[in-house]
Amino acid sequence: MSATLFANARILDGRVDGGIEGHVLVEDGRVKEVSDKPISATGARQVDLAGRTLMPGLIDAHVHVISTTVNFGLNALLPDAVIAFRAARIMNGMLMRGFTTIRDLGGATQGLRVAWEEGGFDGPRMVLCGKAISSTGGHSDGRGRYDGRDMAYLESRLGCLGRIADGVDAVRRACREEIKAGADYIKIMANGGVASPTDPIAFLGYSMDEMRAAVEEAQMAQTYVAAHLYTDEAISRAVDAGVRSLEHCNLIEEATARKAAKAGAIACPTLVTYEALKNEGASYGLGPESVAKIDTVRLAGLASLEKMQRAGLTMAYGSDLLAEMHRHQSDEFVIRGRVLPAMEVIRSTTVHAAKLLRMEGQIGTIQPGAFGDLVVVEGDPLKDLSLLTGQGKHLSAIMQGGRFIKDQLGA
């Protein structure tokens, strides 16, 4: 694999406040050298960035690449081949926005990852939980009130977001089966949700014993549990059960945020999806029972960021978009920037997200040994976070594993 030397870059990866001037050599798919002095690299392609911003490839820590419609039940009934090709297109769009790594929070399988590893399509590297685990009627249950079909048929399909497990023994078995199938971590639905038809937001999806069983199974497999959560009560219970990754957290209170921070948990807010659902959800077929729930969580979103920031709770970047709304993925930067310092927003998609994915030193950073996942930004995102939006139009280069996916840098 050829080598590339980025000279005179403004390096911005979140490890320090602001950017630093330097030079970066990428060789054999990884960052080989970073220096504040010129680097000699015979045979490497040399690119003078002339002060442009060089960032690690962005990380979105909450996506659903198999969500090709907003209706969970209908999505699960689509042929697997249709879902796979749509998911590949969705992931290619993410990569072209600069997201070189994603964490899927329910639905994507080891098969999709193998197809990517074999070069079947260009997309972000994937961290997976397999199918999200839910109680009957919970956020992974896409059946309506009058749909009495056995979930087993739907659960076997690629387009199904999750699976059902009721009771401690069933939760244990589900966790073990997902880990056997290649899951990197476990996802549970511990609160009601917007896009699911029969669970009001305040519903508590699992008993304490069921959540503790999931956490124990994950710990035995040397990994962790992520939980879908909105209400303060649900978040507090999840922290008590040992859940590490707190998804959404729109209705969190500051005391619970401090408790979560002390426990070493990490939050992953996903505010852009509620804006998109509010504006476009109904037009894409989101049911009226779901539309009615959106504002319950949407209107509290920005305040939740402020509470978590004051409490010292680490926050990673997430978008959680569905169907055609994936195109809004990068708008999360601007939404967060309304109440958070730009540097903290940058950290959410770099060092904080890498920590959540347990890939510190490999992604979300520009240092020797890290993957050669890099983006070149035309301008300074610390002054204007919208430079990270616009479907990648302000990114003159996107590199993944040392290979240029997009290259408008010239000679």
pLDDT band at 411 (very low <50, low <70, confident <90, very high): low
Q: For the whole model, what pTM was predicted?
A: 0.96
Q: Taking 80 as the threshold, does the pLDDT of residue 33 lie above it? A: yes
pLDDT band at 292 (very low <50, low <70, confident <90, very high): confident
Q: What is the pLDDT of residues 131-152, one digit of tens each?
A: 999 998 878 776 667 676 777 8
Q: For the residues 388-393, what does the mean pLDDT come to? A: 98
Q: Taking 80 as the threshold, does the pLDDT of residue 197 lie above it? A: no
Instruction: Provide the H-helix boundaries in 71-227.
Output: 72-77, 80-96, 110-117, 151-155, 168-180, 208-220
pLDDT the model gives residue 142: 67
Closest CA to 211 of 243, 180, 181, 235: 243
Q: Taking 80 as the threshold, does the pLDDT of residue 284 lie above it? A: no
Regarding predicted confidence, which is higher, 64 or 138?
64
Q: What is the pLDDT of residues 317-365, one digit of tens each?
A: 999 999 999 999 999 999 999 999 999 999 999 999 999 999 999 999 9
Q: Name all contacts of 86-92 with Cβ < 8 Å and 24+ positions apart.
A: 87/112, 87/158, 88/112, 88/115, 88/120, 88/121, 88/123, 90/65, 90/326, 91/65, 91/116, 91/121, 91/123, 91/124, 91/126, 92/121, 92/122, 92/123
- Backbone φ/ψ region at 350: left (φ over 0), alpha (ψ -120 to 50), beta: alpha
